[in-house]
Amino acid sequence: MKKIRLIIPYFGKLPKFFPYFLLTAKRNEKIDFLIYTDQKVEQFEVLNAKNIEFVTLSFDDLRKKVQSKFDFEISLKTPYKLCDYKVAYGFIFEEELKEYDYWGFCDTDVLLGDIYQFLEEHNFFTDDYARYGLLGHLQIFKNSEEVNRIFMSGQGLNYRLDYHNVFTSGQNFIFDEAEGIQKLFEKSGFDQLQDKFFDDIDISHFSFREYGEVDPKRYYFWSEKTGLESIEIKDGTLVIEYPLYAHFQKRMIECPEFKECDSFYVIPNQLVVGEKISIQKIEEVTKNKFYWEYVKSTFLKKFKKEKWTLGFIRHKFRMKRG
């Protein structure tokens, strides 16, 4: 069996959704999770998750750890900027990963399916892929010196691919996605597993739909027995699929106070401990409606001060130019 470790730094107050993410991580018994945080984690001991390790430290201490790996002064003033450093975790945390065959990262606003089973079913190990991943929600890399330094290979190519630019700027480069690490891997010639096997929920609609879908009747169910299920009404019947993960980006999902449980389901925008629901209930709870939270967040985003600074405008212009 291959050894895989996912690195997850999380700083600031943990959302109520977080322990339910941990339940789905715990079920991935063949995957180890290393979580760095400045929050208290004693309440999660009840999970007895042998594959999840917490390291408590301040964000400043983590920044110092990252800085120690580079011979130039980095810019890492906020936890959000870590998104640009994700693709360098194999290099930054090489000591913590030395006993592993693969490493990766994932977001915590997701519910995970069976990662190892997915990788085996798609011949990730037998075909010797160097990377799985399309977006920054979840990516997995072969733990080798060459792969772990691919993020450095864009030096001198252009503004957004040069890691020196990325790591010395306070701006967000989205270095972990299509116009960043993806371009560098394509240039490297390493084989990648690239098909989309996950559900990325469109934040602009109240109902759970992927980008481009039209009014699906879908909710998500997780249980210790079967893992993550996407359950949808199609032509009057239930269709069940098993995604690699479901991503609930920027959704304010109402969650109960956490108690260990064997099953729960997620509907827009609520997590409920319990068993599967009927077709009639699905019809009722998945109806789309005016999504005020999205409208409000979009409106407020347009008036953030940094959107109107000369530095931000110059950065966005250079990002478009490449």
pLDDT tens digit sequence for 52-92: 999 999 999 999 999 999 999 999 999 999 999 999 999 99
| CA 266/CA 127 separation, integer angstroms | 35
Share of the chain above pLDDT 90, in %: 82
Per-residue pLDDT of 125-161, as tens digits, reads: 999 999 999 899 999 999 999 999 999 999 888 889 9
| CA 189/CA 63 separation, integer angstroms | 32
Could you say which DSSP state residue 165 is in? H
Res 212: pLDDT? 86
Q: Which fold has domain 4-193?
A: Spore Coat Polysaccharide Biosynthesis Protein SpsA; Chain A (3.90.550)
287: which 2 tokens?
């109806």
In the chain, the largest separation of any two C-alpha atoms, in whole Å, equals 61
For residue 268, with 0-12 CB atoms within 10 Å meaning exposed, 13-18 middle and 19 or more buried, which class applies?
A: buried
Res 292: pLDDT? 73
| CA 1/CA 132 separation, integer angstroms | 18
Question: Can you tell me the mean pLDDT for 218-233?
Answer: 98
Res 306: pLDDT? 60
Could you tell me where in the chain the CATH 3.90.550 domains are found? 4-193
pLDDT at 305 over 60: no
**Cβ-contact 41, 137 below 8 angstroms:** no
Res 315: pLDDT? 61
Report in angstroms the alpha-carbon separations of 22 from 14, 16, 17, 223. Answer: 12, 11, 9, 13
Per-residue pLDDT of 233-273, as tens digits, reads: 999 999 999 999 999 988 989 999 999 899 999 999 999 99
| CA 136/CA 141 separation, integer angstroms | 13
| CA 163/CA 155 separation, integer angstroms | 6
